[in-house]
Chain A
Amino acid sequence: MNPISDMPQSLPQAADYIRILPEIVLSIFGMIIMLLDPVMDERRSQKTLGGIALVGSLAALAATLYQTQFPGLGFWNMVQVDSFSVFFHFLVAAVTVAVILSSYEYMEVQEIRAGEYYGLLLFGAVGMSLMSSAVELVLIFIALEISSISTYILAGFRRRAAISSESSVKYFLLGSFATAFFLYGVAMMFGATGSTNIAAIAGVLRAGQAPVLAYVAVALMFVGLGFKVAAAPFHIWTPDVYEGAPSPVVGFMSTAPKAAVFAVLLRIMFEIHAPGRIWLIWVVAALSMTLGNIAALVQDNIKRLLAYSSIAHAGYTLVAFAELPGDGVPAVMFYSASYSAMNLGAFAVISHFASVGERYVTLEDYSGLGRRSPLLAAVLTLFLLSLIGIPITGGFFAKFYVFAAALQANLVGLVIVGAINSAVAAYYYLRIIVVMYMREPRTDAPIAPIPAGLGSALAITLLATIYLGVLPGRILDYASRSAAELLR
Chain B
Amino acid sequence: MSAMDNSILTLVTFIPMAGAILLLFLPRRDRDIRIFSLVVALLDFVLSVHLPVHLHRAVVGFQYEIDQPWIAHPNIHYHMGVDGISMWLVVLTAFLTPLCVLISWKSIHERVKEFFILLLVLETALIGVFMALDLFLFYFFWEATLIPMALLIGMYGHGRRVYAAVKFFLYTMIASVFMLAAILWLYAKTGSFDFTTIQAAIRSGQVENFAAAAPWLFLGFFLAFAVKVPLFPFHTWLPDAHVEAPTAGSVLLAGVLLKMGTYGMLRFNLGLFPEQSRSNAPWVIALALIGIVYGALVAMVQPNMKKLIAYSSISHLGFVVLGIFSFTPMGLDGATFVMLAHGVATGALFMLAGILYERRHTYEITDFGGLATPMPVYASFFLFIVLASVGLPLLNGFIGEFLVLSGAFGARPIYGVLAATGVIWSACYLLWMYQRVFFGKVKHTVNETLPDLDAREKATLWPAAVAALVMGIAPLIWLDSIDPAVQYALAPFTQLASKVVGQ
Q: A residues engaging B (CB < 8 A)?
A: 370-371, 374, 385, 390-392, 400, 404, 407, 419, 423, 426-427, 430, 434, 437-439, 471-473, 476-477
Q: How far is the CA of A390 from the CA of B177 in the complex (A)?
A: 12
Q: How far is the CA of A426 from the CA of B176 in the complex (A)?
A: 13
Cross-chain contact A392 with B140 (CB below 8 angstroms):
yes
Q: How far is the CA of A471 from the CA of B70 in the complex (A)?
A: 8
Select A419's contact among B114, B140, B173, B177, beta carbons within 8 Å: B177
B-side contacts of A427, CB under 8 Å:
170
CB distance from A364 to the nearest CB of B (A): 14
Q: Give the contacts of B133-190 with A (CB-CB under 8 A).
A: 136, 139-140, 143-144, 147, 151, 154-155, 161-162, 165-166, 169-170, 173-174, 177, 181, 188
B-side contacts of A473, CB under 8 Å:
71-73
Q: How far is the CA of A152 from the CA of B165 in the complex (A)?
A: 43
Asked whether B106 is an interface residue with its Cβ less than 8 Å from the other chain, the reply is: no
Given contacts A391-B143, A472-B71, contact A423 B161 (CB under 8 A): no
Asked whether B111 is an interface residue with its Cβ less than 8 Å from the other chain, the reply is: yes
Cross-chain contact A434 with B111 (CB below 8 angstroms):
no
B-side contacts of A391, CB under 8 Å:
136, 139-140, 143-144
Select B143's contact among A390, A404, A423, A472, beta carbons within 8 Å: A390
Cross-chain contact A370 with B71 (CB below 8 angstroms):
no
Select B155's contact among A392, A419, A438, A472, beta carbons within 8 Å: A438
Cross-chain contact A438 with B154 (CB below 8 angstroms):
yes
The number of chain B residues with a CB under 8 A from chain A is 27
* 10 pairs of A and B residues whose beta carbons are closest in the complex: A438-B154, A391-B140, A438-B162, A473-B72, A437-B155, A473-B71, A423-B177, A437-B151, A438-B155, A437-B154
Of all chain A residues, the one with the shortest Cβ separation from B173 is A426
Sampled A-B contacts (26; CB under 8 Å): A370-B155, A374-B111, A374-B113, A390-B143, A390-B147, A391-B136, A391-B139, A391-B144, A407-B188, A419-B177, A423-B174, A423-B177, A426-B173, A427-B170, A430-B166, A430-B169, A434-B162, A434-B166, A437-B151, A437-B154, A437-B155, A438-B155, A438-B165, A439-B162, A471-B71, A473-B71
Asked whether B393 is an interface residue with its Cβ less than 8 Å from the other chain, the reply is: no
Cross-chain contact B154 with A434 (CB below 8 angstroms):
yes
Asked whether B282 is an interface residue with its Cβ less than 8 Å from the other chain, the reply is: no
Given pairs A423-B174, A476-B73, 14 additional interface contacts (CB within 8 A):
A370-B114, A370-B155, A371-B111, A385-B147, A391-B136, A391-B144, A400-B74, A404-B74, A434-B154, A437-B154, A437-B155, A438-B154, A473-B72, A473-B73
B-side contacts of A438, CB under 8 Å:
154-155, 161-162, 165
Of all chain A residues, the one with the shortest Cβ separation from B141 is A391
Interface of A is mostly: helix
B-side contacts of A392, CB under 8 Å:
140
Q: How far is the CA of A471 from the CA of B136 in the complex (A)?
A: 14
Of all chain B residues, the one with the shortest Cβ separation from A476 is B73
Q: How far is the CA of A427 from the CA of B147 in the complex (A)?
A: 13
A-side contacts of B74, CB under 8 Å:
400, 404
Of all chain A residues, the one with the shortest Cβ separation from B155 is A437
Q: How far is the CA of A391 from the CA of B137 in the complex (A)?
A: 9
Cross-chain contact B165 with A434 (CB below 8 angstroms):
yes
Of all chain A residues, the one with the shortest Cβ separation from B69 is A473
B-side contacts of A471, CB under 8 Å:
71
Q: Which of the listed residues A370, A391, A392, A473 has the most CB atoms from chain B within 10 Å of its own CB?
A: A391
B-side contacts of A430, CB under 8 Å:
166, 169
B-side contacts of A477, CB under 8 Å:
72
Q: How far is the CA of A407 from the CA of B74 in the complex (A)?
A: 14
Q: How far is the CA of A211 from the CA of B169 in the complex (A)?
A: 54
Q: B103-114 vs A: 1/0 string, CB under 8 Å? A: 000000001011
Q: How far is the CA of A473 from the CA of B72 in the complex (A)?
A: 6
Q: Give the contacts of B96-127 with A (CB-CB under 8 A).
A: 111, 113-114
Q: How far is the CA of A407 from the CA of B136 in the complex (A)?
A: 18
Q: How far is the CA of A33 from the CA of B73 in the complex (A)?
A: 44
A-side contacts of B114, CB under 8 Å:
370, 374
A-side contacts of B72, CB under 8 Å:
473, 477
Q: How far is the CA of A419 from the CA of B140 in the complex (A)?
A: 17
Q: Which of the listed residues B73, B139, B151, B154 has the most CB atoms from chain A within 10 Å of its own CB?
A: B73
Of all chain A residues, the one with the shortest Cβ separation from B140 is A391
B-side contacts of A439, CB under 8 Å:
162
CB distance from A435 to the nearest CB of B (A): 9
A-side contacts of B71, CB under 8 Å:
471-473
CB distance from B21 to the nearest CB of A (A): 12
Given contacts A391-B139, A407-B188, A434-B165, contact A419 B181 (CB under 8 A): yes
Q: B57-93 vs A: 1/0 string, CB under 8 Å? A: 0000000000000011110000000000000000000
Q: How far is the CA of A385 from the CA of B143 in the complex (A)?
A: 12
